[in-house]
Structure 1
Amino acid sequence: MHQLTHGDIKAAADRIAGRVRAVTVTPADPGAIRAAGRDTPGSGAEPACEVWLALEFMQHTGSFKARGAQNFLQAHRDAGTLPATGVTIASGGNAGLACAWAARQQGVPATVFLPTTAPRVKVAKLRGYGADVRLTGSEYAEALAACEEFAAATGALASHAYDHPLIAAGAGTLVEEIHRQIPDLDTVLVAVGGGGLFAGVATAAGHHGIRTVAVEPENCRALHAAVEAGRPVDVPVDSVAADSLGARRATALALHAARQDGTRAVLVPDAEIVHARQALWDHRRIAVEHGAATALAALTTPDRPGGGPGSGYRPASGEKVCVILCGANTDAGTLIRD
């Protein structure tokens, strides 16, 4: 299997230059991270760290996925392997949106398979990009099986939501942009589903000497399970963030990245994901999906007695931390309180 390298990410950055929006990075307000969390007795004082937010939800199509989709299709265009029958993909929503958007730019059709549980806002946006949307099964894995059958029958180019080196390398370009803006960054926090974003981020971050913290919902722990088993394995999927982080198994690329020095993985409960998402709205009027709020929840989750899963990540004093807010394809009405 091809192992992702920093050279892959640099090539992706050159390939998609001018085709995606550069990420905006902004400092969190002093005290905001503690304000976002609960004042749990015994949880300790807020560390004197510096927290930045990478506003990648402002990317084309509303998520980081536009980077990988552009890299994937442009690489095939350059190689002469982009068929007239177009591209097909299975997705919880965001990868499909990015694929349909990039396909429209390339002038080829896109057929997107989604589980029936996909948020209506994502389905509507997909159709707005001109995609042929097919709702199949209740989980991503079922949509993926239908997508594979379609590709075999039609000759359409099969893309993947996260399990492809070109997709992961495109995602990793995000860290190159963050590093240029914060050259002395210590740590980057990133949510993990199947692991495409994490693999790209960890590869780029490792090259620059930046620690990567992979954050998963407690009940969507594909990366944790892979690390424990020593190989990618299937896991149950049951989280408020399942629409974007609900992969049944992590990729081999993600497992390889998780084994490298300078990476750490943490789990956060759904209640804290919901709380972190609401806090972003209440304090900054930032509306993100639960998957994006998962990364921030690593900082706002109160410590549990004895630590362990669900205790989040505690930066050291003086540590510079950047939280990737990776997507905003959500129903903003669920954030507005009376």
Structure 2
Amino acid sequence: MNRGAIAQAADRFSRDYAHFIRRTPLLKLPGKALGVANDEVWLKLEHLQAGGSFKARGMLNRLLANPIPASGVIVASGGNAGIATAAAARELGVPCEVFVPTVCSPAKQQKLRELGAKVVVTGAVYGEALEACIARQGETGALMTHAYDQPEVVAGAGTIGREIEEQGSGLPDAVLVSVGGGGLIAGIAAWCEDRTRVIALEPQLAPTLHRAREAGGPVDVAVSGVAADSLGAKRVGAIAWDITQRWVRESHLLADEAIREAQLVLWKEFKLAVEPAAAVPLAALRAGIAADARRACLVVCGANLDPATLA
């Protein structure tokens, strides 16, 4: 994965799919507005992306880069990657089948059905849904999109990094990114390389990358907690592992309570209705991580939730 592949995806989006892949806003706020020490905090509002999360970029890029058989596309997901694949499939007019675990929220399952996807609920966690999805793909021959571990998916996510640099007239001093399987941070880190700090953030109850770093390589971990439906990959992706080893120096864990508090701050103070995974970067900033960064960018990655949960 390199910046050339990311630039190619970004150019394709802007040329042919600007009506679908949105150039999401970059909101710049004084740090004091968020109660943090940084001079300026940038919010990359990727929860406003098609399908409600950053995943739309990678999934569309995957579908555009490969021939799609009559059986369509198939994906396993905690929710967001499935929604993104279903949205991209509808855009291209092809069938879509999505395997989700029982932890996938009713709101996400409903959105999948509204997008026309065939939804299969199986397994307690994402890894079990993935096993069932792989078996089904062997039967149908559908094009499989992976939630985070395919080059086209990572390159699509990396277009966020390019947009941040363009919209900010340069990169910030730090980019704070939530990590599940690692596709988002891999794409952003591949774009930024060593030109700024890219910081990996995970819930304490879903420490996929953090445990891999402790073990010296990807390992299976138990995942649960407030962000399990979006950051619930039990093993960091091979692409993400390689890229983060090269370009990401920091990895931190956040408590569910801190994530929930940050989620409520974004809702009560700024009316941003986002899921817990999208609030992890703010939780980190409020905990003092990257406090020395004059300009810190938080990737607000998704908003597929029932707003009633914010009451």
Q: Give TM-score, length-normalised by structure 2.
A: 0.95
Contact 2:38 2:296 in 1 (8 A): no
Contact 1:91-1:140 at 8 Å conserved across structures:
yes
SS of 2:124 mapped into structure 1: coil
Correspondence 1:28 to 2:29: yes
Distance of 2:248 and 2:305 partners within structure 1: 32
By how many angstroms is 1:252 displaced? Answer: 1.6
In 2: Cα distance, 1:292 partner to 1:195 partner: 14
Q: How many residues of Structure 1 are paired with residues of Structure 2 in the alignment? A: 306
Unaligned runs of 5+ in 1: 35-45, 302-311
**Which SS does the other structure have where 2:149 is aligned?**
coil
Question: Which residue is equivalent to 1:313?
Answer: 289
- Which residue is 2:282 aligned to? 296
Paired-residue identity, % = 47
1:84-112, CA deviations, whole angstroms, 9 ceiling, x for partnerless residues?
Answer: 11000000000000001101111110000
Match of 1:322 among 274, 293, 297: 297
Helix, strand or coil at the partner of 1:31: helix
Q: Distance in 2 between matches of 1:157 and 1:321?
A: 38
Q: Say whether the 8 Å CA contact 2:190–2:247 is kept in structure 1.
A: no
Alignment partner of 1:112: what SS? strand
Contact 1:23–1:178 (8 Å) recurs in 2:
no
Displacement after TM superposition at 1:293 (Å): 0.6
C-alpha deviation, 1:187, in angstroms: 1.0
Cα shift readout 1:300-321 (whole Å, capped 9, x = no counterpart) = 12xxxxxxxxxx513216x211
Give the corresponding residue for 2:270.
Answer: 284
| Residues 191-230 of structure 1 deviation map (CA, whole Å, 9 limit, x = unaligned) | 00000001001111216x1210111001111101111212
Q: What SS does the corresponding residue of 2:21 show, helix, strand or coil?
A: coil
Which residue pairs with 1:201 in the alignment?
188
Cα drift, residue 184 of structure 1: 4.4
Q: Secondary structure at the match of 2:250?
A: strand
1:254 has 2:240 as partner? yes
Alpha-carbon contact 1:49-1:315 (below 8 Å) kept: no
What's the offset of the Cα at 1:239? Answer: 1.6
Please list, as runs of the form range in 1=range in 2, the aligned pairs for 1:9-158 lying within 5 A after superposition: 9-17=6-14, 18=18, 19-34=20-35, 46-76=36-66, 81-158=67-144
- Which one has the largest radius of gyration? 1
CA RMSD of aligned residues (A): 1.3
> What is the identity, as a one-letter code, of the residue corresponding to 1:315?
A
Unpaired segments ≥5 residues, structure 2? none
Alpha-carbon deviation of 1:59? 0.3
Cα 1:5/1:30, change in 2 over 3 Å: closer
Normalised by the length of structure 1, the TM-score is 0.88
Q: What does residue 177 of structure 2 align with?
A: 190
